[in-house]
Amino acid sequence: MNVYHTCIRSYTWKTTRPFHPQEDANKPKKRTFRTFHYRGVELDKLLDLSQDELIKLFSARQRRKFQRGISKKAKSLLKKLRKAKKECEVGEKPKPVPTHLRNMTIIPEMVGSIVAVHNGKQYTNVEIKPEMIGYYLGEFSITYKHTRHGKPGIGATHSSRFIPLK
């Protein structure tokens, strides 16, 4: 195969090759999916790690929390998530598990589950994905309503006081 070099503006070299449609048609298109890594460890290996090895990968705040012990409420949440995963059929999403534990750290065991996190008024369904490992559940259930500043109404400015009401 011949490769042609062309000079663009005398300082940038661009390598081109002639286009052959037969070559591209014969090659099967390869699609590789990106595997998830948490701090250099693949998701499959994260699930196999012991709790002590997993804690070493977390940030300082999460390490401190796990070293002080996991609460009964957190243990019961994990138990309910395991049960919901077992009960669902293959290819279906599990039922959401409601919780008030906004300070629960997301661990690899929870990936694939759906947690209904309370935001103070209602429950927000959060589907746990691998990218969420190490974050708190509360970070995915916002407790306030985002303000949207629209147009001002009548009487909002000094000049609009003299406009007659319709």
* pLDDT at position 113 over 90: yes
pLDDT tens-digit readout, 13-69: 555 566 666 665 666 667 777 888 888 889 889 999 999 999 999 999 999 999 999
Strand-pair category, 97-99 with 41-42 = unpaired
pTM of the model: 0.71
Q: Which residues make Cβ contacts (< 8 Å) with residue 116, sequence separation at least 6?
A: 96, 97, 98, 99, 123, 124, 125, 126
Q: Which residues make Cβ contacts (< 8 Å) with residue 160, sequence separation at least 6?
A: 152, 154
Beta strands (DSSP E) in 113-163 are 114-118, 123-127
Domains and CATH numbers, the chain: 37-140 (3.30.860.10)
pLDDT band at 115; cut points 50, 70, 90: very high
